[in-house]
Amino acid sequence: MMKILLCVTGGIAAYKAVDLTSKLVQSGHEVKVIMTPSAREFITPLPFQALSRNEVHIDVFDETNPAVIKHIDLADWADINIIAPATASTIGKLAGGIADNMVTTTLIASVKPTFIAPAMNSNMYRHPAVQRNMQLLREMGYHFIDPGRGFLACGYIAEGRMAEPLEIIDVILQFQAAEHYQHDFAGEKILVTAGPTVERIDAVRYLTNNSSGRMGYALAEAAQLRGADVTLISGRLEIDVPEGLTYVPVESAAEMFEAVTSRMEEQDIIIKAAAVADYTTEQIAGKMKKKDADLTLTLSRTQDILKYLGTHKTHQYLAGFAAETDHVEMYARGKLEKKNADVIIANNVGDKSIGFKSEDNAVEMFFKDGTSHVIPKMPKKEVAHEILSQIKRDRHVR
């Protein structure tokens, strides 16, 4: 976890900084907030203090501790700085080296990575002077989190809306991963399966499950950030596909079986996170008409992809998932043996706080050598990195 200095400047999007503070703290980061005097015209320091459990700093001359100079101490304390929202005024001051408030004075004294999330009217954002200042800051090493398009306070529907807190956290997590893990999977080929499969009954009906695919996508993204050559084979989902990997969309269990097995030989690691249907039915042509009588469907067993991989693997490290509602360890260890996997990653999907649709997860990993490792509840993207680190450790000790 990181020490984050959140700098709030005077824009209407300052209210989003409260949500950002909350989400950063929930993710385990320590947050300290500094505000410009203009920011106080939009929001008071109290919510930031309550959420961060730290003093909010506003006045550069408010030196209450004679042992330190406050803005220097804050600059040295942080691992990273985030300016959210960042106004045209603050961007211009930083570009010009002007230190006339707590935010600009602290940031100019900082040598830590700084992320800037602009928020302003679209005409202001596109103004040549603002664009020049942003380019100058990029050349200095500052990182920008581009604004989105949406409804602005001025009434425009245009570019200039501050990035959402979860988008900002994603950028920070990617930076943290790149800095911390140093591409430790460079040169490795990793295949990840994700999402549910769909088994067609007729032209409009189908069998599926509740998988959101978020855990599989988080694993694929984490592996890609850590330097791996990633192939993501996914059931149909409305999730943005991470950039920089090979994406293979599939629908049915049969399609996923073909996509995985045809690519398995070239992989170093296979992580089967998809929720594949255990049964399928023969599709009826057209739309089946409703009748007064009950309907009986005959289901047939699909190919067991994990078992096939366990039987036919040569050099691959094989990880499977076990989504259980009770007797989690017993079923996970049984699956580990039956499928000849190297690790089974088990989670209790009966717990709604970490279930299919949740942003968080908590898992226990059961390894072939009889050991296990608990990953407590945290955002799925952080769980993904911990899973990869444990896989790396297990491969190393063999």
Helix residue ranges per DSSP H, the chain: 14-26, 46-52, 70-77, 88-96, 102-108, 122-126, 128-140, 165-181, 214-225, 253-261, 305-312, 328-339, 380-397
Q: Let me know: does 210 contact 274? Beta carbons within 8 Å.
A: no
Residue 335 labeled ligand binder: yes
Q: How far is 339 from 390, CA to CA, in rounded Å? A: 20
Residue 339 labeled ligand binder: yes
Biggest distance spanned by C-alpha atoms of the chain: 85
Q: Enumerate residues 6+ apart whose C-beta is below 8 A from 186.
A: 226, 227, 228
Per the listing, tokens 């908590």 go with 362
Neighbour count for residue 286 (Cβ, 10 Å): 9
154 is catalytic: yes
Name the active-site residue from 154, 178, 186, 203.
154
Residue 368 labeled ligand binder: no
Closest CA to 209 of 255, 271, 274: 274
Residue 287 labeled ligand binder: yes
In angstroms and rounded to an integer, the radius of gyration of the C-alpha atoms of the chain is 25
Q: Let me know: does 365 contact 344? Beta carbons within 8 Å.
A: yes
Beta bridge partners of 271: 192, 319
Binding-site positions for CTP read: 278, 287, 321, 335, 339
Catalytically active residues, by annotation: 154
Binding residues, as ranges, are 278, 287, 321, 335, 339
